[in-house]
Amino acid sequence: MTQEHISHPEGLPNCAAGHRARHIHDKRCASAGGGHLVECACRSTSKHADPDAAIAAWRRLNRPARSARAAAAPAATDNVLQFQLGLADRKPKAQRLEGQHGRR
């Protein structure tokens, strides 16, 4: 048999779809299509002469997606006063006296 399954004690990371990965060594010479590759049910790496290169390619292929950077919070403006400015002067509201309900 020209292919050998190589087991890793630490295991290989699953693919993005959750399939288990397996490391295969094709023992044919490089000119005949041999080399190391990592595959799962839905994808595989290309063949590499070095087993570490095949594993690095698998990790690069299946690294978690990066999340978008959080938007920066607007700076707090605690030292700003806001006045109610208008074209006409506003009259103060009449104050209600307790118990009279606006009657005099």
- 11-33: pLDDT as tens digits: 888 888 889 999 999 888 888 88
Contact between residue 35 and residue 49 where contact means Cβ atoms under 8 Å apart: yes
Q: Is residue 98 part of a domain?
A: no
Kindly state the tokens that stand for 27.
């023992």
Confidence at 56, pLDDT banded by 50, 70, 90: very high
Q: Has residue 14 been placed in a domain?
A: yes
- Helical segments of the chain, H only: 51-61
Q: What is the pLDDT of residue 97?
A: 60
Task: Tell me which amino acid residue 91 is.
Answer: K
Residue 95 lies in a domain: no
Tokens 């799962």 correspond to 40
Q: What is the DSSP letter of 97?
A: P
Which structural domain, as residue segments, surrounds residue 20?
A: 3-61
Would residue 66 count as lying in a domain? no
The answer as to whether 31 is a domain residue is yes
Is 76 domain-assigned? no
Q: Is the pTM of this model over 0.75?
A: no
Task: Supply the DSSP symbol for 70.
Answer: P
Domain-embedded: residue 73: no
Give the C-alpha separation, 26 to 29, whole Å. 8
Total domains in the chain come to 1
Judge whether 49 lies within some domain. Answer: yes
User: Given this model, what pLDDT does residue 53 score?
Assistant: 93
Where does the pLDDT of residue 3 fall: very low under 50, low under 70, confident under 90, or very high at 90 and above? confident
State the number of CA atoms in the 13 A half-sphere of 85 facing the CB.
3
Q: In this predicted model, what pLDDT tens digit does every residue of 88-97 receive, in sequence order?
A: 666 666 665 6
